[in-house]
Amino acid sequence: MMKKILLVLLVVFLGTLSSYAQSTTSLRGVITDSSGGVIAGASVAMASTENGGVRTSVTDANGVYNFPQVVPGTYRLVAEKSGFAKMTRTNITLLVNTPSTLDLVMVVGATGDVVNVQAEVSQINTTDASLGNPFSEMQVRQIPLQTRNVVELLSVQPGVTSNGEVLGARRDQNNVTLDGADVNNNQNSGLIAQNTTTGLGGYQGSNANGANINSGFNAVLPIPLDSVEEFRVTVAGQGANMGRSSGGQVALVTKSGTNNLHGSLYEYNRNSATAANTWFNNQAGVARQPLVRNQFGASTGGKIVRDRAFYFFNYEQRQDASGVAQVRAVPSDSLRQGIFKYRMCNNPTGPGGVCDPVNDQIFVQDISASDIQAVDPIGKGVNTSMLPILNQYPSGNAPSFGEDGGLNFSGFRFNAPSHRSDHAIVGKIDVHLDRAGKHTVSLRGTLADNTDDQILAQFPGQAPASTLRDNSKGFAAQYTAILRSNLVSVLNLSYTRFGQALSGVAGPVLFQTSLDPLQNPYARPLSQRLPTLNPNEDIAWTKGAHTITAGFSARFIHNNTRSFANSFARYGYGATELIGLGADIDSALTNFMSTNPMRFGPNVGLADPVSVTNGMGAILGLVNDDFHTDLFSKNGTPLLQGTVQARRFIEQDYGLYVGDTYRVSRELTLSFGLRWENFRPPYEANGYQVMPTVPLNQYFAERNAGQSQGLPQNALPNARLKWTLDGPVNGKPTWWQPSNLNFAPRFGLAYSPSSRGGWLAKMFGRGGALRVGASMVYDRFGSDLITQYDQFGSIGLAYKANFPDSYSFSTSPRYGGSSPTLPAPPQETFPYQPPDIAAIIGDFEGISPNLKPPYAYVFTASFAREIPGKMTLEIGYAGRLSHRLLMEGDVYTPLEYFKDPKSGVTWEQNAGIVRKLFDSGLTPAQVKANPSLVPTLPFVEDIWPTLANVDVPGSASANYFMCVYQDYGGSYLDCLHALDRNVTSSYNPGKCLTVTGCYTFFPIQGSSLPTWMNSGTAAYHGLTVSLRRRFSGGLSFDFNYSWSHSVDDGSAAESGAGEQGAAIQNIYNTKEFRGSSDFDMRHNISGNALFELPVGRGKLLLRDASRWLDFMVGGWQVSGLSRFRTGLPTTVAGGLEYNANYWLSSLAIVTGPINQGVRIDQNGNPSIFGSTSTSNSFADELPGHTGKRAAVRLPSFFNTDLGVTKVFKLPGESQRIHFRAEAFNVFNNVNFTNPSLSLTSPGTFGEFQGVMEPRVMQFALRYEF
């Protein structure tokens, strides 16, 4: 440990990743005489009360003084002018990134006369149009934060969502700086958040700061609360000096040493005795989560040489030995015995012969092993190799979590052990190179040494599925030179290295739809080293009424990854990959019941066909899926299964800016700026990168244009694609072309008529301001995108050789006790052309080579003024119009708008007619009895004339209806696939029926190719209200409210999007899915407060108390943080049909009334609806179209955290002991999450599966000196 401490103090000079002078602030003002006349030529000196540094200025002809690029802290201001008494203002507190104003009035007096005034600097910004509230050290330390992650204070700003979207910006666009150094995860900050109590995959997912690493509140370095001097967020209206990304700009400042010794010793403890249990644990009879957390540390700061050199040091450690509530899907006790249960009815009245949960009497039936053998299309019955696997699962204790409500699948709730050992070291040295403090060097170093259970045990008795080791570190150096009183230079250099390694599962893993596997197949080993080096320079020059700023920044990033994500296979039963989605087993069970009317009754129907399919898939042991990836070297040599994928991605970012803050008059300030961003396209340092020889944007354009003319896929000029090596190492361009014209203008106006009288004085008060701003901002992108593409899209280097999605219950392999033998990988050379396929296989990923950085126009307007009670009220508007947002669209989508040259009808129009027939109540049984019920469909008769008489005696049109709804369970693309590709099916095995030849609709080499493209747009408009009271008289508070509406085409951030994020649901109509954003939070309220009770010596009550009495009854503080937000919108999943593409299964559309609101449903379970029968108000999306955006609003959220502190003053005014008790979710509100919203689970539709954290208490003891 001592070596690490010395490393921080001695090697710290390696640098700082500054983000454009975001660690400083400024002070300006006007000096007048008592009559209001300006005083030019006055000397103004600003001295730090903490380290003795002094800066000077002289007022200009307008009486204006200005101190730009000031280190945040506490200062004393002295103004002198011949003929006037010296004016001294003390206790001036300047907050980071918050331009402050302090006007002075000098009085006539003799030399030597001094006027001393306790300063109250206006925190109203009268300089620019930036929006965002600062937090002082007291607020940072006193506000109760459950994660103790200071970056999460971003979430209490107006217009910020719980996951980190800021005024419409994606969550991965926030920029977190520490002392000006970039401490972002430059690959995947802002992944989608998961609630740890739902148990989804056992994912724990928090970093060294306690933050969920999948939210937008992240820093790669540990930032202990005791090391933070100040915190400020700019949510909009940023100046030209702020860049890197377009979201919230978070500026943190590390404490510095002063001439006075100060420090702290502290311990924070949480334990089970004062924690509540989760709602679902209580219902399942599971004990309260074990909770033992100790977070302790020490900090100290002081002088090395008085007024010249200072140090600060903080060490913090966190030790957890706790448990986290988890839930897993397990087989029911009856299924483990080989007994199968299902819901059925007689005389079904629902669409397609399915039971209607409202109008039909539904009851539970079960069948034995002999019955299952009779139902099994191949007559094998219960899989004797699968039963031992099913019996390794624990018995369920939460039936409502099961897909079918406990018949064959149940839930198992338990507390998984969670251990954590985190160590953080922060050291900082500040040196004044000269006595005047005009040349200053600041050095900071941060080290992390963490071991955390990242993915928890899959089941009791197991070790954690994945353990994280994090040894990230960052070093920063800053040189500030006051070259002249009006010229300041800040030079920065930093080195931040994000380093982590995750353990995981090796070898193939068996899985089953509707069950959690016994081993987590997604917990694969991964390691990453991501060093970032960044030099930059910022200059501020004041000339008359102008303050001109300029600067540059360069960022050099090396992303070194070693991943086993594609090194091992997953195999088992997958529902969505079944051809026909299990229609054959559903028909087999229905036929079995129909042949036994005495036992099952007449005219039988199934109430939940999907659950029947999944239950049968488990008990019969289907292995219709085997997901594995063949890996290759650059020369085409196959690599063995289990070989690591090692990559080194190189990125370079550059930025330049210039800005001018022009004080037109005492009342009006204009700010102009221009920023240039250049994000160089990344590349792989060893040449492991490929791209198609035909650009995918061109390929899609050809397909789309051809289908409108009736040109089949097989006749296109680039019907088949080839992939070849690319990138600079291979002498070729990289994945996309550079974008060199990313100019971002900025404008701001601040009007503050504080010196006027009349109605303006009444409106603006003292120091009020009207501010208006407009800016253009660019998204930073590509870092995570390329790592995903490398895994899923590097065809020729990594080929997904999965089982074809063309197995049914009749043809699928069955589990025999071990993983399937993998076929030998093909021999490959570049350019590589994937083979033609005759099955649903070939899932790739692509990048359009014309990608450019997304951009947005941001508009702000706000009015702020002081109101009685030392409060500030600010009302504002913020708007954001986003363009070129990154989204993924499947360029392999079948040609659904293919036009029949004879009839002029498209496939989409034809499918719509068939869907209307089904929705009107037409069933396959009726068509089988009377094929003429299906009218002539010109498209079908022209394209598939030989379909006549294939399924039933009758027209091709009637047989097409049977193809969709009898043979393929309502999945339009499965039917189209059977007709268009050379597949083994009942439709002329080994042949296709399309008159224009095989592959008229489908691509020849694959089934899905989601491709990144600049396709999305978005619009955000919001009202923000902030009421703040600065700390005075023992009270401070912030109240923030925002009303907003966000609309977009898709809401996912690029980072963490994976294979199915930021999806374009319908690539032929990218705007069809446009609607309220996934993060559209109409009403968002947050508030925090700090109140010192007016009891004790010098206070309102017991003012004259003795020191001993004051020791006992004085020093009480109460602090709190409260949040409320209305529910977020979400979609409803369909019934696993594929109606738009083979990349995404269908979503649902709304077909009936929906009655929302948290309540207990007919099953006795908490639900977002009153009854599971609400599923009847939804249906699968129309073929060739999308589901309903924002079909359902999730419940609102409310939470309050409360802290109570008792301060004991020790002898000597500078020593105190704090005892603090905090309660997070103090009222123990139950905030339900994760409702079951899939038409595949009608028995549990709407029922909640998770809940947010219950009440937890924390106790702290602090010694401060």
Are 1086 and 993 within one domain? Answer: no
Query: If we measure between CA atoms, which residue out of 307, 309, 152, 140 comes closest to residue 215?
Result: 152
Distance CA 1206, CA 1201 (A): 17
Q: Is residue 726, in this structure, part of any structural domain at all?
A: no
In one-letter notation, the amino acid at residue 768 is: G
Higher per-residue pLDDT: 822 or 593: 593
Are 1091 and 1204 within one domain? Answer: yes
pLDDT, tens only, 61-84: 888 888 888 888 888 899 998 878
Q: What is the pLDDT of residue 197?
A: 29
pLDDT, tens only, 545-586: 899 999 999 999 999 999 999 999 999 999 888 888 888 999
Are 1133 and 1254 within one domain? Answer: yes
pLDDT, tens only, 734-757: 999 999 999 999 999 999 987 677
Q: Which helix (H) or strand (E) holds 673?
A: strand 668-684
Overall average pLDDT of the 44-62 stretch: 85
Note the helical H segments in 376-505. 386-390
The mean predicted confidence, pLDDT, of the chain is 89
Sign of the CA dihedral 940, 942, 947, 948?
Answer: positive
3-state SS, residue 331: strand
Are 983 and 1115 within one domain? Answer: no
Residue 37: CATH number of its domain:
2.60.40.1120
Distance CA 778, CA 773 (A): 16
| DSSP 8-state class, residue 201 | G
CB-neighbour burial class of residue 598 (10 A; exposed 0-12, middle 13-18, buried 19+): exposed
Distance CA 861, CA 851 (A): 32
Higher per-residue pLDDT: 126 or 410: 410
Are 1081 and 994 within one domain? Answer: no
Q: What is the pLDDT of residue 523?
A: 93
Q: What is the pLDDT of residue 9?
A: 35
Are 1126 and 1221 within one domain? Answer: yes
pLDDT, tens only, 257-272: 999 999 999 999 999 9
Q: Whole domain around residue 106: which residue ranges?
A: 25-118
Paired strand residues for 651: 557
Q: Is residue 803, in this structure, part of any structural domain at all?
A: no
pLDDT, tens only, 930-954: 999 999 999 999 999 999 998 899 9
The model's confidence at residue 11, banded by pLDDT at 50, 70 and 90, is very low
The model's confidence at residue 1258, banded by pLDDT at 50, 70 and 90, is very high
Q: What is the pLDDT of residue 196?
A: 31
The first and second tokens of residue 775, run together, are 């800016």
Of 201-205, 486-490, 631-635, 903-907, the poorest mean pLDDT is in 201-205
SS3 letters across 800-864 = ECCCCCCCCCCCCCECCCCCCCCCCCCCCCCCECCCCCCCCCCECCEECCCCCCCEEEEEEEEEE
Proportion of the chain above pLDDT 90, given as a percent: 66
Are 1133 and 986 within one domain? Answer: no
Overall average pLDDT of the 1089-1111 stretch: 91
Which residue, 950, 969, 1000, sits at the end of a domain? 1000
pLDDT, tens only, 492-519: 999 999 999 999 999 999 999 999 999 9
Cα separation values, 994 from 59, 842, 988, 997, 1087, Å:
85, 22, 11, 5, 64
CB-neighbour burial class of residue 640 (10 A; exposed 0-12, middle 13-18, buried 19+): exposed
Q: What is the pLDDT of residue 20?
A: 37
Of 354-358, 651-655, 916-920, the poorest mean pLDDT is in 354-358
Are 1214 and 1085 within one domain? Answer: yes
This prediction's pTM: 0.88
Distance CA 993, CA 975 (A): 11
Distance CA 46, CA 93 (A): 12
Q: Are 572 and 625 in contact (CB under 8 A)?
A: yes
Proportion of the chain above pLDDT 70, given as a percent: 94
Q: Is residue 265, in this structure, part of any structural domain at all?
A: no
Are 990 and 1091 within one domain? Answer: no
Which residue, 1000, 1021, 1036, sits at the end of a domain? 1000
Q: What is the pLDDT of residue 761?
A: 79
Q: Are 773 and 859 in contact (CB under 8 A)?
A: yes
Q: Which helix (H) or strand (E) holds 964?
A: none
Distance CA 441, CA 383 (A): 72
Task: Provide the 10 A C-beta neighbour count for residue 1002.
Answer: 27
Sign of the CA dihedral 168, 172, 176, 182?
Answer: negative
Are 1252 and 1165 within one domain? Answer: yes
Tell me: pLDDT of 837 over 60: yes
Are 1233 and 1127 within one domain? Answer: yes
Distance CA 571, CA 340 (A): 23
* Structural domains of the chain, count: 3
CB-neighbour burial class of residue 118 (10 A; exposed 0-12, middle 13-18, buried 19+): exposed
Query: How far is C-alpha 510 from the geometric centre of its chain's CA atoms?
Result: 29
Tell me: pLDDT of 1125 over 90: yes
| DSSP 8-state class, residue 523 | -
Are 944 and 1081 within one domain? Answer: no
Which residue, 952, 974, 1000, sits at the end of a domain? 1000
Q: Is residue 62, in this structure, part of any structural domain at all?
A: yes
Q: Is residue 872, in this structure, part of any structural domain at all?
A: no
